[in-house]
Structure 1
Amino acid sequence: MSTTPPLAAQVVVVTGAARGVGALLARKLAQHGAEVALVGLEPEELKAVAAQCGPAASFWEADVTDLEALSTAARRIQERHGRIDTVVANAGIAIGGPLRDSDPRAFDRVIEVNLLGSVATARAFLPALAESGGYLLQIASLAALTPAPLMAAYCASKAGVEAFAHSLRAEVAHQGVKVGVGYLSWTDTDMVRGADQDTVLAQMRARLPWPANKTYPLDPAVDRLLAGIARRSPHVYAQAWLRGMQAVRGVLPGLIATVGARDIARLAPQLKATAASRLRAVGAGGAADTATRGATVE
């Protein structure tokens, strides 16, 4: 039976590593002795994070939806570091608001980055993980466990990556590769802070039942992800209460459809009046994705 190497003996790739969960996870992995390779869109931010991760760290600019660029990065990372033991598919963006008011390009881009970007990440790095008998941790979300109005693109993408990772787990087990899914609730990142700048979305979130209406600190959430990586866990919960959501997820769509419908009806005039303010992905990461593609939304 193969044993899991300690973090200090691993080479770990983290996508979406320029900020937030990815950046802090990379720093904590490096503190535990891992060699980290950071992948993302913002070279200056990646360079700064890599510098904080020590001289063995590397950074690679690549869009996770570009399979060719990711495959090139995977090959070069393996050449530089000698192997790849763990890959954390963390890159993601989000938009909020009603489907009918959304820009189709921005809506589709969320699914492209979050879901198809995760598929491309797996395609690019699975050959190296098969060589090392490694681990792929797919970052999902509370949004994978429960639907939420005004978050259709994000919920669809995160439900998709959860299902994708569960399906992939059985496919690659005979190659010695383990696959895990990481779940986070609202965590103090640029993405969540960006969403909270929208007063209507913030009102909607405030009406969620406890504990789903809180914003949780980043540091302990990343510590739990780190512990899951060390164990190569099939499920990793960045907030402990998320584990309990698995038992009740079947009843949530009906409940949310009833309660959410009333809230949306109440907020409909405000949502309509402010629709033009939510045509792009939220937060600094969303802005970086838009800038990289040179996209303009009128």
Structure 2
Amino acid sequence: MIYTVTFNPAIDYVVRLDSPLEVGEVNRARGEDCVLGGKGINVSGVLAELGCQSVALGFVAGETGAWLERGLAAQGIQTDFIHLAQGMTRINVKIKAGQETELNGAGPNIPESAMQALEAKLDALQNGDILILAGSIPASLAQTTYERLLARLEGRGVRAVVDATRDLLVNVLPFHPFLIKPNNHELGEIVGRVLNTEDEIVAAARTLQEKGARNVLVSMAGDGALLLDEQGQTHRIGCPKGKVVNSVGAGDSMVAGFVAGYLQSGDYTTALRLGTACGSATAFSLGLAKKEEIEKLLLTI
């Protein structure tokens, strides 16, 4: 089974205006949408499009949390959230008026008792299961939370996938995650230099592999992606042609596609192709990738 963790899920309230936002004035929207989000939830959503069952874990609170939970169930996404007694699941306001303005909510505080409840759920994971940890850690939790969870699972045969930045990513490497997915800029930040060539990206990825990562998947936006696998092989793939209209969730979609592709084939080249198709399909869409668009792009790469 695949499990995703979203510590601070959100309802994105997206408002569209016909003219620029006027601060201090009444602005009339021409339309609005509510999008249920969070990096782990995005991964679960794309996995569902690919026919891969997953369980979305994390924390929800209040009526907004109940709404998010019902909405995900309606999308066919299985959840097993921990319900917090205080606070409310955050609402992020996204105002699209030529330029985009965002106001992101803080979300509820997560007490130690809730973390222990999450750990109890993770104790049920078995050999061969996949745990996907993605995104930042909320302010109410220690920045060592990823390490805490992976240390608890160490030696159990659970394959961890981590999509995070800087120290959050570097500090989990001793636990030998199955996959990490920095982009080329994040990889450069980790090694302390700008990566200008493919050889430099490969060398930087290898340093993370030497520190414990089994597979390093580096996304490079319009330049495609590069994978350094656990056998030491380098795989390179370009990006399919299309117009980028949305970068939100593209990295999460790539993670979902890679994991699904590997589980279905056991082959890293196949996993990289499906991951790239999923990431591109989201980038070329207003929302997360849909099965039809993923399949169409797969034929072109």
TM bucket (normalised to shorter chain) is 0.3 to 0.5
- Which structure dedicates a bigger proportion of its chain to helix? 1
- The structure with more strand, counted as a fraction of residues: 2
Structure scoring higher RCO (CA < 8 A, sep ≥ 6) equals 1
Query: TM-score scaled by structure 1?
Result: 0.40
